[in-house]
Structure 1
């Protein structure tokens, strides 16, 4: 164990407490203790006695070894125990520029972009055009749907719509041209002579007579005569037959007479009027009580001879108001009868 003879003096020489200090470092004490173990079988030998003496004198409170900074980062302080003394060891980040450069990957040069395909170029160029065409097609589709809806409504309810427009036009004429004392009724449903019901488009009650008005909103040439059971309306090559409106309104006037209890001379004071829109053009001699809508007011105002008393007018008004109040129920019955006949 010759190496121990040279190593121990060197450790004692370089120990921070070798000169003027009573305690050795932890490393020196460990070597001395190791030497005592090696020569424990020869307790009287110089090596054992020397190592034991040094341990007893200088290793009772050994000096801890200096702590070096660890090459670690982002590690919190951790307490450790050295020679029975608890001490906190802190770490510091290593400022190693070379290591940082080595850890940082070198930038990769991007590969050159592939040239665009002709299809992609065309798609990019024509994208606005395609978007515009899509919007136009959507508008055209919406327009076509609206036209189809209009055509469906016109085919199913065209006659009713035209009739309603004609009646409204006559209503404005009567409201503007007749005296306010005249009473005006629209779309009255009243019982007829044979127990069924009939609908009167317009009825005007005045001291000078009762005027029952049938409205026709046809467009085109009108052919017929006073005695023909059917008249014809022609527009271009399209022809349509309809009931003679004079015969149709005769039924209305008779129903009004029955409702109001008029007969004889009083019955003669109930006048029939057939009003056509300005879109119609007559191709025959027009009867006196057939006219255009805008002339109905003038025709009614020609009657200036009183024929009903105030009491009669009140009775007529009461009965007509009753028919007006029950118009919804009576119209429902009228539609049921019309459906059964058709």
Structure 2
């Protein structure tokens, strides 16, 4: 992106300089352009005529004059004058005969860079507009979301939320982007939380692109897209902190804590290349996984209490979100 911005700036400077003042051709070059104009004067629509006319108007308003050349005398020795008298020696000076100059015409020198620039100059504004349109989406993403990765993450979370609302029965309650306080006093953000009689499901959404390699016990997983690869934290370990925060926020007992389930959902842009447990799946499979739990484990009264606590936490989200942002960015120096 920085490279494209540099190209735009360079083209803009070149274009501005060209508008401010056009480089002038020499008189010889302008003479050739005039001859080409005269040659195709009967065909004003011809490509050569229009090109020569445009170059002549732009670069031949004040043509550069050819340097003056000194007079070259013939190397024939001067004629000897025989004096006849003293008077003739005084009154008849020696005469040097200047022969007409016979030199070949100097070859015309064309500036290739200037000629190429004159060809592309009319299209520079269109090139600038094209590059700006190409950069505009990235600029908007940077201004609105901070980064492209964050934007893709938000899109994946919204996709999952819509699917769960459509595919799960009405008795399931949904919470999205919920910030909770942990037992250690810090804050953590939960992508998706589903509350039901059959359990509580905490979903972590990932929108990586490429092949995903990892196992349940590895601390770091790898994503590879063509030749590029990088590591990221094991999402199962990351989501374990989220499930612990849910247990702490709802005040669950040890028995009820077993009904909090961790789910990691990848978008279709990823391909899982290693064997993983069932609760690591694609976004389209999350609803099916949740509906596999059919044994009731919470009463209606417990669900009302859980919902009341989560709703109370949701009402204070603006302050929690601000504190969480400060926590992620670190202390100000």
| Alignment TM class, shorter chain as reference | 0.5 to 0.7
Partner of 1:73: none
Residue 304 of structure 1: CA displacement?
A: 1.1
Deviation string, structure 1 residues 178-210 (Cα, Å, up to 9, x no partner): 011211010000101210000000000111111
Give the secondary structure class of the aligned counterpart of 1:228.
coil
Q: Matches of 1:159 and 1:266 in 2, distance apart? A: 36
Aligned partner of 2:195 among 205, 210, 216:
205
Q: Deviations over 1:73-93 (max 9, x none)?
A: xxxxxxxxxxxxxxxxxxxxx
Deviation digits for residues 70-115 of structure 1 (CA, Å, limit 9, x no counterpart) = xxxxxxxxxxxxxxxxxxxxxxxxxxxxxxxxxxxxxxxxxxxxxx
1:320 aligns with: 310
Question: Is residue 2:263 matched to residue 1:273?
Answer: yes
Any idea what SS the aligned residue of 1:295 has?
Answer: helix
1:254 to 225, 244, 261: 244
* Structure number with larger C-alpha Rg: 1
CA distance in 2: counterparts of 1:163 and 1:299, whole angstroms = 21
Structure-2 separation of matches of 1:251 and 1:129 = 70
- TM-score normalised by length of structure 1: 0.61
Q: Which residue of 2 aligns with 1:146?
A: 133
Matches within 5 A, 1:213-292: 213-292=203-282
For the structure 1 residues 309 and 174, does the alpha-carbon distance in structure 2 shift closer, same or farther, using more than 3 Å as the test? same
Unaligned runs of 5+ in 2: 1-33, 56-118
Offset, 1:140 = 2.1
2:160 is the counterpart of 1:170: yes
1:227-274 alpha-carbon deviations (Å, 9 max, x no partner): 111111000111111110000000000000000011211111111000
Report the CA distance between 1:170 and its aligned residue: 0.6
Partner of 1:160: 150
Helix, strand or coil: the match of 1:179?
coil
Give distance in 2, aligned partners of 1:139 and 1:324: 50
In the alignment, the residues of structure 2 paired with residue 276 and residue 221 of structure 1 have an alpha-carbon distance, to the nearest angstrom, of 11
Equivalent position to 1:331, from 315, 321, 325: 321
Report runs of 4+ in structure 1 exceeding 6 Å deviation: 119-124, 127-130, 132-135
| Cα distance change of structure 1 residues 305 and 135 upon mapping to structure 2, 3 Å threshold | farther
Q: TM-score, normalised by structure 2?
A: 0.62
Alpha-carbon distance in 2 for matches of 1:275, 1:206? 19
Deviates more, 1:309-318 or 1:154-163: 154-163
The corresponding residue for 1:17 is none
Q: Deviations over 1:40-87 (max 9, x none)?
A: xxxxxxxxxxxxxxxxxxxxxxxxxxxxxxxxxxxxxxxxxxxxxxxx
Shift of 1:143: 1.5
Q: CA RMSD of the aligned region, Å?
A: 2.8
Cα distance in 2 for residues equivalent to 1:300 and 1:307: 14
What is the Cα deviation at residue 148 of structure 1? Answer: 2.9
Secondary structure of residue in 1 paired with 2:238: helix
Matched positions, count: 227
